[in-house]
Structure 1
Amino acid sequence: MKIFKFYFILLFLPGILSGCVETNILDRVGLTTLVGYDAGTEEKIATTAVIREVNPEFQSNVEVVTTENETSKGNRMKANRKLSKKIMVGQMRVILFGEELAKDDLHFYIDTHLENASISNSLYLAVVEGETAPLLQYEYKNIDDIGQHIYRLIEQNVKQEHMISSSLHEIAHDFYMEGKDSAMPIIKREDDLIELTGIALFSGGKMVSTLPVEDSFYVKLVRDSFTSGIFETIIQKEDIPPNLMTGTASDMPVAFDAIRSKRVLKLVDPTTPEFDLQLKLKARLLEVYPDVNLGDPKVVEGIENAVSKNLSREISRVIAHSQNVQSDIFGFGEKYRSSVRNSNLTKEKWHEMYKNMKVNIKVEFDILRDGVFE
């Protein structure tokens, strides 16, 4: 009899538990793939949501809904009143912020999405030139799902190392770290296309400046290590050995691929503070103009030295810009905090020190033969 009761409970218990779980049938819900936030009127939040609806025949339809309310949850309730299906956020892949809103403060939005257990920490955050609503509401000729399109645009550029990564987890990590600030990609609409145009620099939760998209290479060099990618630069005439110049050319455009880099950062003087930054790069030369004899070791050495000078100058420029706007997107402050015992570092304290920081940059660039990589 006891054995019978035991098996009866085992069979009956799953039925009770399953009745307690909320089920969501795919053709009865709308899946939010992207949300854009803008500054609303009278201090309200303007939200534009890209929602994919799937019908019983498994055909999908994309709705773009804009609402305005005091809170993001209130905006979701308003959007629900405009749709025939319940809105779910578990498939959200991108959060966009309008330029005006990003310059105000994103602290609230970072915390709100971190606290939502149904939202993945791997979704991307980005800033839109202007406002998000016009960009998302525009009727694109060759884009069916604007939410998925923007997600794939950011994802493939991050994977190919053309753009810094800005997942919710990474942004929150940098935001709450005393010695580092956040950075996000910037996008805008150009006719019927959407493109990455730059990097937004943050100080605390506020966007304080931008860098052009071409500078993403230098930012990533200082922040991380490259494992692959393509790099193009123009070597200035003063950096080029005279024997490499032909004709009347005033500079030398070069392109490299399969870049590998190694970054070593040391704090050498905590009072200034002063750092030594050593970067070692190896890459294959794809293009160079005008044509040069790459079979000559002296020519190759000349190009390597010229690229090293060019990279050092450009990296110094980008770091100096970030110092001027007090945005340590590179994490020098975190290196300082981990190197100086009892530093009691705060963001405010580090931003004051960061303005006077000195960085000694040394770049070693090596050109590898085609098909050879260590």
Structure 2
Amino acid sequence: MKKICFLGSLFLCVGLVGCAETKLLERVGLTTLIGYDLGKEDGVETTAVVRQVGSELQSRVAIITAENKTSQGTRAKINRRAAEKVMAGQMRGILFGEAFAQEGIAHYLDTFSKNNELSGEVLLAVVEGETRPLIEFPYPNIDDIGEHIYKLLDQNIESEQVVSSTIHEVTRDYFSVGRDIVVPILKRDQELVEISGIALFRKDKMIGKLSVDESFYVRLLRDNYNAGVFETEMKGEDVPASLLKDPPEEINLVFDPIKTRKKVKLVNSKTPEFDVQISVQARLIEVKPTINIGEVKEAKELEKAIADDLSKELKRIIARCQELDSDIFGFGEFYKSSVHRSELTEEQWHVMFKDMKVNVDIDVTLLRSGVFE
């Protein structure tokens, strides 16, 4: 009898807890995404995507915009316009309009890092133009734009297509001497949202951008690939005549998967000068037009041609970042850790960074050929 009473009490408690959770969800709105744009008179315009849960656990998405002098001020205004108290515990993404990012995001990074409601895994991105039009657009096949953008960023980071940009990583880069911020860029393309490139920062201000294709070379030097996919174009003139007698102007190649390892060494602390060695192992799954690399000699010739092309492009991207004065690769960190008792400051490094010399040596190994067209 006691056992029956105990089980009855247990089921009653579970039922009450379930009811309590339902009632709690009915009283709050869960913010999944926020976007920041420049407001009027030095203010900030915040657009929030809020998921509101009904009594039958059915949910709907509301998009609320408010403007104030501070981000916390806009949050208070959004609360006054929402049917339920707005909570940030389910935040998945934070977007900055392009003009907003160019003004500087340091204050907001500091605010995010102090907010115990936010997870360090929230993803940051820049939007071409302003965030509000992208968030408010009535996408016919997207129910929750906040959840959709998070999944878009997350799966492309997981598949190693773009750099990772969590609050934790971006804040770490901001406070590191000798490393600058880089985050993905989003844009609306008709009824879809896509990743269009990466934003380069000098300290907390966006000062330039690179294309999606160029972001491959950024990851090649910043991180190690473990299973990435990459499509590139080579000039026909860069392919040995022994492989293709009458080459077109461009040759398309697709690699999957890509595995890389890198080594960076400071060889001259005064210039400064670095040696960068990168080993690339990849499976060539498509090349157009067809190149026959059945023989070992032919495969080696193609490997060298690809390595030379990758080296040339990586040098170009590094030079571009030097022009923009954005050390997204973290050469300053390598320098500081390599020079004994270095008291390197951010200002000192960026003076040196512009004249920095980098020797790039890339070694490519084609694991096996795949399907060609």
- The reply to whether TM is greater than 0.5 is yes
In structure 1, what is the Cα distance between the partners aligned to 2:267 and 2:49? 50
Q: CA deviation at 1:342?
A: 2.4
User: What amino acid is aligned across from residue 334 of structure 2 in structure 1?
Assistant: K
Tell me what 2:5 maps to: none
SS at match of 2:293: coil
Structure-2 separation of matches of 1:328 and 1:267: 16
The amino acid across from 1:102 in the alignment is A
Residues 343-373 of structure 1 deviation map (CA, whole Å, 9 limit, x = unaligned) = 21111111111000000000000000269xx
The residue identity in structure 2 corresponding to 1:225 is N
User: How far off is 1:248 after superposition?
Assistant: 5.1
> Is the 1:198–1:210 contact (alpha carbons within 8 Å) kept by the matching residues of 2?
yes
Deviation at 1:308, TM superposition (A): 0.2
Shift of 1:294: 2.5
SS of structure 1 residue aligned to 2:251: strand
Paired with 1:319 and 1:24, the residues of 2 have a C-alpha distance of 55
The answer for the alignment partner of 2:341 in structure 1 is: 342
| CA pair 122-28 structure 1, distance change in 2 beyond 3 A | same
CA contact (8 A) 1:292 1:299 kept: no
> Is the partner of 2:267 in helix, strand or coil?
strand
Q: Does the Cα contact within 8 Å between 2:23 and 2:55 map onto a contact in 1?
A: no
Q: Which amino acid aligns with 1:264?
A: K
TM-fit CA distance, 1:291:
1.5
User: 1:297 corresponds to which residue?
Assistant: 296
Residue deviations 1:71-122 (CA, integer Å, cap 9, x gap):
1111111111111100000110100000111001100000000000110011
Does the aligned pair in 2 maintain the 1:160–1:228 contact within 8 Å? yes
Counterpart secondary structure, 1:369: strand
Is contact 1:235-1:252 (8 Å) kept?
yes
The 3 A distance-change label for structure 1 pair 248 and 179 is closer
CA contact (8 A) 2:125 2:165 kept: yes
Deviations 1:249-268 (A, max 9, x none): 23321111011000000000
Measured in 1, the distance between the counterparts of 2:78 and 2:23 equals 18
Distance between the aligned counterparts of 1:152 and 1:197, measured in 2?
A: 16
Q: Equivalents in 2 of 1:38, 1:292: separation in Å?
A: 50
Tell me the residue number matched to 2:309.
310
1:246–1:290 contact (8 Å) kept in structure 2:
no
Residues 123-159 of structure 1: CA deviation (Å, up to 9, x unaligned): 1000000000111111111110000000000000000
Contact residue 36 and residue 95 of structure 2 kept, 8 A: yes
Question: 1:246 deviation in Å?
Answer: 4.1
- Farther-moved stretch of structure 1 (170-179 vs 240-249): 240-249
Q: Which residue does 1:119 correspond to in 2?
A: 118
Please state how far the C-alpha of 1:339 moved relative to its aligned partner: 0.6
> Over aligned residue pairs, what C-alpha RMSD do you find?
1.4
1:61 and 2:51 correspond: no
Residue aligned with 1:43, SS: coil
Aligned to 1:239: 238
In structure 2, what is the Cα distance between the partners aligned to 1:210 and 1:204?
Answer: 14
Work out the CA distance in 2 between the residues paired with 1:327 and 1:146.
31
1:365 aligns to 2:353 (yes or no): no
Query: 2:284 maps to what in 1?
Result: 285
Q: Which residue matches 1:41? A: 40
Q: Where does structure 1 lack aligned partners over 5 or more consecutive residues?
A: 1-22
**Alignment correspondent of 2:4:** none
**What secondary structure, in the 3-state scheme, does the structure 1 residue paired with 2:242 have?**
helix
Contact 2:124 2:165 in 1 (8 A): yes
For 1:40, the aligned partner's letter is G
Map 1:52-201 onto structure 2 (within 5 A). 52-201=51-200
Whole-angstrom CA distance in 2 between matches of 1:24 and 1:299: 69
Any idea what SS the aligned residue of 2:41 has? helix
Deviations 1:251-297 (A, max 9, x none): 32111101100000000000000000000000111011221223211
**Equivalent pair of 2:200/2:207 in contact (CA under 8 Å):** yes
Describe how 1:191-270 pairs up with structure 2 within 5 A. Answer: 191-247=190-246, 249-270=248-269
Alpha-carbon displacement from aligned partner over 1:191-233 (angstroms, at most 9, x marks no partner): 1000000110000100011001111110000001000011111
Alignment correspondent of 2:49? 50
Question: C-alpha distance in 2, partners of 1:296/1:61?
Answer: 60
Aligned to 1:26: 25
Question: 2:73 is matched by which residue type in structure 1?
Answer: G
Instruction: Output the amino acid matched with 2:150.
Output: Y
Q: Matches of 1:54 and 1:43 in 2, distance apart?
A: 35
Classify the secondary structure of the residue corresponding to 2:109: helix
Name the CA distance, whole Å, in 1 between partners of 2:246 and 2:235.
Answer: 15
Looking at structure 2, the residues matched to 210 and 74 of structure 1 have their Cα atoms a distance apart, in angstroms, of 31
Contact 2:237 2:249 in 1 (8 A): no
Q: Which residue of 1 aligns with 2:16?
A: none
Q: Deviations over 1:303-341 (max 9, x none)?
A: 101100110010001000000011000010000000112
Q: CA deviation at 1:238?
A: 3.0
CA gap of 1:108–1:246, structure 2 versus 1, over 3 A, is same
The runs of at least 4 aligned residues of structure 1 exceeding 2 Å deviation read none
Q: Post-superposition shift, 1:28?
A: 1.0
What letter matches 1:39 in structure 2? L
Structure 2 letter corresponding to 1:67: A
For residue 316 of structure 1, what is the amino acid of its counterpart? K
Q: Which amino acid aligns with 2:225?
A: F
